[in-house]
Amino acid sequence: MVFNFNYRCIDALSPYCPCYLAETQSCLVCSVLQGKDTCDCNWQGFCVYQEYIWNGKKKENFRKTVEAKIAEKKAFSDNLVVFKVILTLPALSRDFSQPGTYVFLKSFDTPPYFEVPICVMDANEDENSLNFAVQIIGPKTKNLVRENKAFLLRGPYYNGVLGLKHIKGAKNKRCLLIGGGIGQASLVLVAKALVRGKNEITALLDAGAIKYNPAEDYLKNLGVEVQYFAKQDLVFGEMLLNLIEEKNIEMIYSGGSDVQHDFVKSAVIRSGRKIDFAASNNVQMCCGEGICGSCVVTLGSEKIKFCKAQTEYMI
């Protein structure tokens, strides 16, 4: 993975800033909250140190774990289950509706290390509900899909998409969303944000390992033109190149594996066009708070925490 080194903190300016990292002198933004004597910050429009002092030298709100009652549960293939859950107050689904939002889910009777990071596929404010698509892979997801009544839900976490500014900033553009396998679950909230920006959206879906396209109906309901692809189409690249040319694409979001991202990226380069590129953040998330270290990627001499560092793929 090649990232642009200029990163911002996804939680800066949010109700969750300052966070545990400020308390432990590991803030992503503020040099003083990294233990240095003087200011040399990665300014994001406000002073994290000032917020920290005003807050009594401690973190702001932390994410709470709430009960999420299972309202619907449907298996679409032998390894794909889609849930609809109803949040209990004070959790509000509108706080889970940004592109790239994910949560940690587990059943009530399992220990904390059963928590699975799961992308929010859709959020419905009227019902205060969220939808998740779960691919059954290992012990945590196997355990999760056995549940019929309720989950424990911790969130929201926001850094599931890299290059977020290209999605939030897209206005009246021709956009292409590419969803491979379970990665397509992230397309729905991305599409909703793009619809708000009056963009023209085409989605390319490949069911892949999950053998069903869980995002398809949601996207069609949003007025997105849905087409299909197979993995080989990406490998050879012609299909994508033709589509970019034919639709005059200006912005692409890739939701899927890193391999998929790389194929999409090389098609973008081959097209010779200036295309904004955003992609799902596939780094392993475990705590979501920058504490556990599972999301750390070493780039040059710097260790970057990808649960917090909002950056973009370099083209």
Partner 1 sequence: MPKVIVVGGGWAGCGAALAARKAGAEVVILEKTDMLLGCGLVGGIMRNNGRYTAAEEAIALGAGELFEIADETARHRNVDFPGHSHATLYDVLKIEPRVRKFLEKMGVELRFQSRAVDVKMEGKRIKSIVLADGETIEGDVYVETTGSSGPMGNCVKYGNGCCMCIQRCPAFGPRVSISKKAGVEDLVAKRSPDLYGAMSGSCKLNKDSLGEDIKKELEKKGVVVIKLPDVFIHKEKLSIKVCQQYALDEYAENIVLLDTGHAKLMAPFFSLDELRKIKGFENVRFEDPYAGSKGNSIRYMSMAPRDDYLQVEGVENLFCAGEKSGPIVGHTEAICTGILAGHNAVRKVLKMELLKLPRELAIGDMIAYVNEELKKPEGLYKRFTFAGSTYFERMKKFGLYLTEKEAIRKKVKNLQLYNVFNENLVTNEGKRQHGV
Q: What is the contact surface with partner 1 in residues (CB under 8 A)? A: 30-32, 37-41, 43, 45-50, 53
Q: Give CA–CA dist 62/117, Å, rounded.
A: 17
Query: CB-wise, 46 or 62, nearer to partner 1?
Result: 46
Q: Kindly state the smallest distance separating residue 17's Cβ from partner 1, in Å.
A: 14
Residues facing residue 305 across a β-bridge? 296
- Per DSSP bridges, beta strands 65-77 and 150-157 are antiparallel
Q: Give CA–CA dist 282/160, Å, rounded.
A: 8
Query: CB-wise, 48 or 219, nearer to partner 1?
Result: 48
- The tokens describing 307, both together, are 């649960």
Q: Kindly state the smallest distance separating residue 65's Cβ from partner 1, in Å.
A: 33
Q: Kindly state the smallest distance separating residue 28's Cβ from partner 1, in Å.
A: 14
Q: Kindly state the smallest distance separating residue 52's Cβ from partner 1, in Å.
A: 9
Q: Kindly state the smallest distance separating residue 54's Cβ from partner 1, in Å.
A: 8
Q: Give CA–CA dist 243/241, Å, rounded.
A: 5
Helices (H), 159-274: 164-168, 187-196, 216-221, 231-236, 238-247, 258-271
Q: Kindly state the smallest distance separating residue 154's Cβ from partner 1, in Å.
A: 31
Distances (CA, A) of 282 to 1, 49, 162, 182, 187: 10, 30, 9, 12, 14
Q: Give CA–CA dist 31/307, Å, rounded.
A: 19
Query: CB-wise, 34 or 77, nearer to partner 1?
Result: 34
Query: CB-wise, 200 or 276, nearer to partner 1?
Result: 276
Please say whether the beta carbons of 179 and 255 come within 8 A: yes
- The tokens describing 250, both together, are 């200006």
Query: CB-wise, 38 or 148, nearer to partner 1?
Result: 38
Q: Kindly state the smallest distance separating residue 25's Cβ from partner 1, in Å.
A: 13
Q: Give CA–CA dist 166/279, Å, rounded.
A: 10
Query: CB-wise, 49 or 313, nearer to partner 1?
Result: 49
Q: Kindly state the smallest distance separating residue 49's Cβ from partner 1, in Å.
A: 4
Provide Rg for the chain, Cα atoms. 19
Q: Give CA–CA dist 262/282, Å, rounded.
A: 13
Query: CB-wise, 43 or 236, nearer to partner 1?
Result: 43
- The tokens describing 77, both together, are 């293939």
Query: CB-wise, 40 or 258, nearer to partner 1?
Result: 40
